[in-house]
């Protein structure tokens, strides 16, 4: 990812299908001031109450729990919510808490989000791949991987999944698969880490956490795509019970808070108040509040699918370029008849003026494959057309015989 950022900086005029960001035009400074005021008024506190350090678990667990009930059908005690510096900190804390010693390991549906594998790498926590297949997770491979990990003398602690419009694949799990995954998790005594940044941007299905009656699911959420990425506010729902050696019982959220207290101390109260105000103003219904942006992302997705079809069905590609057709989210994956590595990325930016993310970034070991991820969330229609023309020219010139 560093290389991608460097290339983007070196070639600022390249059209980028790389970054998975929300549309900037939806941000307005006046909203931020208003949301802050809404929060302060609702809480009956002066702004100065936000100027100090705050409680480690955060100050907006209550509105977050209401939002989860309204939007996701997740019934949760606010005590099980820990507010974090984005979903990224939540992932990091969860992995750190699951790693007791070097016999612990985690599983992840591959290809997977680099922020997950990157976090695991920083703490020497091994990650084992589970195939995604057409269902979003191959449950036979999950069983087989658990068996293999145990055979190695390791403890498979959890499997990381993105059931809705996954990053990078764009794939979603249908409802029966979600039920079967929960059953498999119980059977293999595994936790599931459900990461759901894109769930509001496509057809609604129940989250795993909404279907979880067994406290199997640790749910990671973020306001980066639904409110403001710059606020850096996310959260984790961790209602699992932790039994200590002295017989005391705590919530996993409290164990995560202990770790957070020595990582980021607390999430900025000012940033939380902005998000809290947004939630209160929207009556905690962020799905509804995001209907406009969601429709725009959908239009972009349709435009991109049509644009790919128009260009890559040409005889010169011989049907060798294919792509996934997600129902929503920010990303899709294209298979191309050439190896997609950093050299190709550099060449694409320099000579063709187009940027994408090589799929190798989402595979452990970073082995180059002939796939790339395209993000369609933030790109203007004319830019998309020009960018796809450039991508088609690159693939036509570089395709292997
Ligand atoms: C799957 C996934 N999880 C987590 C994150 C990180 O979210 P945040 O910006 O809240 O840290 C992202 C960001 O793009 C993501 O795609």
Residue nearest atom 14 of ligand 1, based on CA coordinates: 20
pLDDT band at 365 (very low <50, low <70, confident <90, very high): confident
Same domain, 233 and 335: no
Distance 88 CA to ligand 1 centre (A): 6
Residue 127 pairs in a beta bridge with 106
Question: Whole-number mean pLDDT of the chain?
Answer: 96
Same domain, 10 and 34: no
Residue 332 pairs in a beta bridge with 374
Same domain, 367 and 258: no
pLDDT at 69 over 90: yes
Mutation choice for ligand 1 from 19, 22, 85, 87, CB with most ligand atoms inside 8 A: 87
Mapping DSSP onto H, E and C, the string for 58-126 reads CCCHHHHHHHHHHHHCCCCCHHHEEEECHHHHHHHHHHHHHCCCCCEEEEEEECCCHHHHHHHHHCCCC
pLDDT at 2 over 90: no
Total domains in the chain come to 2
pLDDT at 296 over 90: yes
Same domain, 54 and 195: yes
CATH number of the domain that residue 173 is part of: 3.40.640.10
Final residue before a domain boundary, out of 225, 252, 285: 285
Same domain, 277 and 340: no
Same domain, 98 and 223: yes
Same domain, 356 and 238: no
Q: Is the Cβ–Cβ distance between 149 and 170 less than 8 Å?
A: no
Give the three-state DSSP class for 366.
helix
Mean pLDDT value across residues 137-151: 98
Same domain, 13 and 80: no
CATH number of the domain that residue 309 is part of: 3.90.1150.10
Same domain, 189 and 90: yes
Distance 76 CA to ligand 1 centre (A): 22
Same domain, 56 and 195: yes
Final residue before a domain boundary, out of 250, 285, 320: 285
Q: Convert the pLDDT of each residue in 91-113 to its tens digit.
A: 999 999 999 999 999 999 999 99
Residue 353: the pLDDT is: 98
Distance 111 CA to ligand 1 centre (A): 15
Residue 6: the pLDDT is: 94
Which residues have C-beta atoms less than 6 Å from ligand 1?
20, 86-88, 113, 115, 162, 167, 195, 197, 222, 224, 229, 234
Domain with 47, as residue range(s), is: 29-285
pLDDT band at 24 (very low <50, low <70, confident <90, very high): confident
Same domain, 310 and 262: no
Final residue before a domain boundary, out of 239, 267, 285: 285
Same domain, 346 and 263: no
Question: Looking at the chain, how many residues does it have?
Answer: 401
Percent share of the chain, pLDDT over 90: 95
Residue 117: the pLDDT is: 95
Angular region, 365: left φ>0, alpha ψ -120 to 50, beta rest: left
Percent share of the chain, pLDDT over 70: 100
């Amino acid at each position: 990812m560093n290389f991608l950022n460097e290339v983007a900086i070196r070639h600022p005029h390249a059209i980028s299908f790389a970054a998975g960001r929300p549309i900037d035009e939806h941000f307005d400074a006046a909203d931020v001031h208003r949301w802050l005021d809404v929060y302060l008024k609702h809480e009956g506190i002066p702004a100065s109450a936000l100027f100090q350090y705050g409680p480690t678990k955060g100050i907006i667990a209550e509105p977050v729990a209401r939002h989860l009930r309204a939007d996701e059908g997740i019934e949760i005690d606010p005590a099980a919510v820990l507010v974090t510096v984005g979903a990224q900190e939540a992932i990091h804390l969860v992995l750190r808490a699951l790693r007791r010693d070097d016999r612990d390991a985690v599983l992840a549906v591959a290809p997977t989000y680099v922020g997950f594998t990157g976090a695991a790498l920083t703490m020497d926590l091994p990650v084992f791949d589970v195939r995604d297949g057409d269902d979003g997770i191959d449950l036979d491979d999950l069983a087989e991987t658990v068996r293999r990990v145990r055979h190695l003398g390791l403890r498979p602690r959890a499997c990381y999944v993105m059931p809705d419009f996954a990053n990078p694949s764009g794939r979603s799990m249908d409802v029966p698969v979600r039920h079967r995954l929960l059953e498999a998790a119980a059977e293999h005594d595994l936790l599931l880490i459900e990461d759901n940044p894109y769930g509001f941007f496509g057809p609604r299905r129940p989250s795993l956490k909404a279907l979880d009656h067994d406290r199997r699911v640790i749910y990671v959420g973020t306001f980066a795509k639904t409110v403001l990425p710059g606020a850096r506010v996310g959260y984790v729902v961790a209602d699992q019970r932790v039994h200590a050696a002295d017989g005391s019982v705590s919530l996993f959220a409290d164990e995560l808070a202990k770790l957070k207290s020595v990582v980021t101390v607390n999430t900025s109260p000012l940033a939380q108040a902005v998000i809290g105000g947004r939630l209160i103003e929207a009556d905690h219904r962020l799905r509804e509040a995001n209907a406009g942006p969601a429709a725009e992302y959908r239009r972009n997705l349709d435009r991109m699918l049509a644009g790919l079809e128009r260009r890559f069905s040409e005889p010169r590609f011989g049907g060798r370029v294919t792509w996934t057709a997600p129902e929503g989210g920010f990303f899709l994956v294209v298979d191309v008849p050439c190896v997609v590595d950093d050299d190709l990325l550099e060449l694409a930016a320099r000579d063709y003026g187009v940027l994408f993310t090589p799929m190798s970034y989402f595979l452990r070991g970073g082995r180059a494959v002939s796939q790339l991820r395209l993000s369609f969330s933030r790109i203007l229609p004319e830019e998309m057309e020009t960018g796809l023309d450039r991508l088609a020219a690159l693939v036509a010139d570089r395709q292997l015989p």
